[in-house]
Amino acid sequence: MATPPPDPAAVAAAARILREARSVLFVTGAGISADSGLPTYRGVGGLYDAGETEEGLPIEVLLSGETLARRPEWTWKYLGAIERACRGASPNAAHESIAALERERARVVVLTQNVDGLHRAAGSRDVIEIHGDVHELSCTRCAWERRVRDYDGLEIPPRCPLCSALVRPAVVLFGELLPHAAVKRLEEELRRGFDAVFSIGTTSVFPYVAAPVLMARGRGAGTVEVNPGETAVSHAVDVRLRCGAAEAMKAVVAAMNGAGIR
């Protein structure tokens, strides 16, 4: 379904916020990758539908740490579906706009729930992948790690070439804790604060996703949401762009540059 075009008044307001901000946090979800061809479904990183499964179990059960330990072939079957959804996708204008801003501004940080790796592919370096990256594999027993382009050629479930233990991707499955290093990094960045926070393509249902927006609003920082629908933070932001991420970010950056911003 096509999203409506950006509202010019909202674009101008978002551009003013971005123009004045030297530090910006972009909080992103599955919606930012929709224009790259990835589905905005529920699941790990927003990349799998929560409908019926062949096993007769909810997807949240199949994509859980408990099932990975008990029936790894089930979990890996759906991990493979997630990886195939990511395969061949390229960063879109929203990812690229954020990466360009990082090169221009003193401090630009991305907090993403996505496991597709598209922010880094676009050139962003300061990325907190709070749910991990589906392309990063590691052994569940020893220190073996590897980054893969895709899952072609992997036995399912894959085994470590060093110790034969189960291999898993570095993603947060249902029932698992968020990675400590990523949480610590996010906490440090939020303590420093930001001049502006943009929430793009996420329903913000998780507290750690909504919190940056709410904290920014409490501190008087500019807040912008890009999402066609209503979300958990829609009531709290200064500006709402009810459209797709790529179109919104192209319009905001164009308006900002048209005002002579460097």
State the catalytic residues. Answer: 131
Q: How far apart are the C-alpha atoms of 95 and 186, rounded to whole Å?
A: 20
Find the DSSP H helices in the chain. Answer: 8-20, 59-62, 65-70, 72-86, 93-104, 118-122, 180-192, 207-219, 245-258
Give how far Cα 88 sits from Cα of 52, 91, 92, 117, Å: 26, 10, 12, 12
E-strand ranges in 99-154 read: 107-112, 127-129, 132-139, 145-147
Distance CA 123, CA 50 (A): 31
Question: What CA–CA distance (Å, rounded) separates 33 from 113?
Answer: 11
Q: Please enumerate in sequence order all residues whose Cβ is within 8 A of that of 9, keeping only pairs 6 or more positions apart, or say none.
A: none
Question: What is the CA 180 to chain-centroid distance, rounded?
Answer: 17
Residues in the chain: 262
Per-residue b or e along 24-37, where b marks 16 or more CB atoms closer than 10 Å to that residue's CB: bbbbbbbbbbbbbe
Q: How far apart are CA 221 and CA 204, in angstroms?
A: 18
